Structures are given as structure tokens and as C-alpha cells.
């Protein structure tokens, strides 16, 4: 059983604050690391797919980094807005199979 | 492009009753996934189809859960009989093919078992 962990479990910030969360995953047999954003009552939305050690990806105010050797990825949100409130999920894909193993998610709430 | 459709969106049943969920993947997507997401946990893969064949159902509780994708398009997931611990969001996802990274998710069905 693969262990994918996210921290913190939940986070409350004020509008305009910058924030970051962590996803840790097995450092062996790495194939890809996915980040999703899941707003209440909506479909999880893909943010990034990261495959190479040292990868940095950016989408607007959201960016992510990847360290496959030590088994972690950071997701950063610059200048949080209320519409950023959602659960952020990471998912690990190993070379050994094609299924995604999800972390428990970080629930972000941004207060206006 | 239409997304992954799921119905119903919400369902409340009593324990020992049966329930079925329906999923229509994105047109042309060969691979279909059913996930169970219990509150406070990440989604857990229950079953994966490639066209109408099962690729992985190792985490499907087969004594009460069943799933089919008869024509390689729509899929149904059934629970019979339901237990309290089956209360969860059931997510369906699809991807172009088993080798592709991107999985596209539906909005899920929130099941409450009382």
C-alpha cells in the first residue's frame, strides 16, 4: 500500500495571504505527481501533472514544485482569493502500475 | 467538449437497501474509473475499466459492490446491500487511454446511508 500524505489537513487564511501546502509520496518507482483542485459540489479539476525532478509549474497565482529524490511536492498560492477556497488533492502514480494513489487533501478556506 | 456526467448527485438510503450510480464518460475515452471518497480521506480507486474489460478491481468489496461497463461507454456501480460505512462521495473519472496522464472527473454522487 502506497503512502501519500498531505499537510496541513486544513488551512484558514485571509484574502491576500500567500500560502503553501505539502504532499509527500514514496521516492521509489516515481512516475508522475498530480495536483487537483476540488470545489464543493463540483468536479475535481486538474491543476498540474509533474514528472521530472526539479519541475516547477505555474498557472496564474498557483505554482508547484517537485522533488522526486526526497519524495515531496509543494503547492503555492500567491495572494489568496475567496475563490481559491477548495480542497487541494495530490495523487501519486508509480512506475509499477497506472493507478493514482491520492493523499487526504488540504482544505483551504480564504476569508474575505 | 462535454465533461463526465454522473447521476444522481445525491442519494439517501437506509442500511441494507440497494443503490446504483451511473456514469457517462467523455466521448472517446477508453478508460473509466470509479473512486470512493470518504469524508476526510482522499479518493480511493474501486475499479478501473479499459473499454468494457476490468483492468483493476483489487479494492472493490466484491461481496456487496459490483460495476459494469457493458458496451464500453456508460458504467454503473451498484451497492447491495449498503452499510453505514458506505457513506461517501462516489467519483467517476475517464481518460483517453490507460497510458495517458490526465483523468477527468465527474461531480460525484454523495451517498448517505442511515
pLDDT tens string B44-54: 999 999 998 99
Q: Do A42 and B107 touch (CB under 8 A)?
A: yes
Q: A87 in contact with B at a CB cutoff of 8 Å?
A: no
Q: Do A43 and B106 touch (CB under 8 A)?
A: yes
Inform me whether the pLDDT recorded for B101 exceeds 80: no
Rg (CA), chain A: 14
Mean pLDDT value of segment B2-11: 95
Q: Do B101 and A93 touch (CB under 8 A)?
A: yes
Count chain A–chain B contacts defined by CB atoms under 8 A.
Answer: 49
Rounded percentage of chain A residues whose pLDDT exceeds 70:
98
* B chain contacts of residue A34, beta-carbon cutoff 8 Å: 101, 103
Give the pLDDT confidence score for residue B1 in this predicted structure. Answer: 64
Closest Cβ–Cβ partner in A36, A49, A98 for B98: A98
Give the pLDDT confidence score for residue A9 in this predicted structure. Answer: 95
Inform me whether the pLDDT recorded for B100 exceeds 70: no
Q: B106 in contact with A at a CB cutoff of 8 Å?
A: yes
Residue A108, CA atoms < 13 Å, CB-side half-sphere: 29
Give the pLDDT confidence score for residue A95 in this predicted structure. Answer: 84
Mean pLDDT of chain B: 94
C-alpha span between B21 and B5 (Å, rounded): 11
Burial of B89 (0-12, 13-18, 19+ CB in 10 A): middle
pLDDT tens string A83-105: 999 999 999 998 877 789 999 99
Q: Which residue has the higher pLDDT, B31 or A2?
A: B31
Mean pLDDT value of segment A61-89: 97
On whether the CB atoms of residues B13 and B111 are closer than 8 A, the answer is yes
Other C-beta atoms lying within 10 Å of the C-beta of residue B9 = 11
Amino acid at each position: 500500500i502506497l503512502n501519500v500524505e498531505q499537510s496541513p489537513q486544513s488551512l484558514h487564511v485571509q484574502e491576500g495571504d500567500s500560502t503553501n501546502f505539502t504532499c509527500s509520496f514514496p521516492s521509489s518507482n516515481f512516475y508522475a505527481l498530480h495536483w487537483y483542485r476540488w470545489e464543493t459540489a463540483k468536479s475535481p479539476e486538474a491543476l498540474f501533472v509533474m514528472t521530472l525532478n526539479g519541475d516547477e509549474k505555474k498557472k496564474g497565482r498557483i505554482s508547484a514544485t517537485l522533488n522526486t529524490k526526497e519524495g515531496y511536492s509543494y503547492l503555492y498560492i500567491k495572494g489568496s482569493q475567496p475563490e481559491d477556497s477548495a480542497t487541494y488533492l495530490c495523487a501519486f502514480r508509480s512506475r509499477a502500475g497506472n493507478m493514482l494513489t491520492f493523499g487526504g487533501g488540504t482544505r483551504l478556506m480564504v476569508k474575505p | 467538449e462535454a465533461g463526465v456526467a454522473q447521476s444522481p448527485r445525491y442519494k439517501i438510503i437506509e442500511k441494507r437497501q440497494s443503490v446504483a450510480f451511473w456514469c457517462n464518460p467523455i466521448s472517446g475515452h477508453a478508460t473509466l474509473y470509479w473512486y470512493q471518497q470518504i469524508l476526510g480521506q482522499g479518493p480511493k480507486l474501486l475499479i478501473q475499466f479499459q473499454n468494457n474489460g476490468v483492468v483493476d478491481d483489487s479494492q472493490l468489496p466484491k461481496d456487496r459492490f459490483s460495476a459494469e461497463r457493458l458496451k464500453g461507454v456508460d458504467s454503473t456501480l451498484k451497492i447491495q446491500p449498503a452499510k453505514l460505512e458506505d457513506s461517501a462521495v462516489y467519483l467517476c473519472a475517464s481518460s483517453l487511454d490507460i497510458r495517458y496522464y490526465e483523468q477527468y472527473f465527474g461531480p460525484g454522487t454523495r451517498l448517505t446511508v442511515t
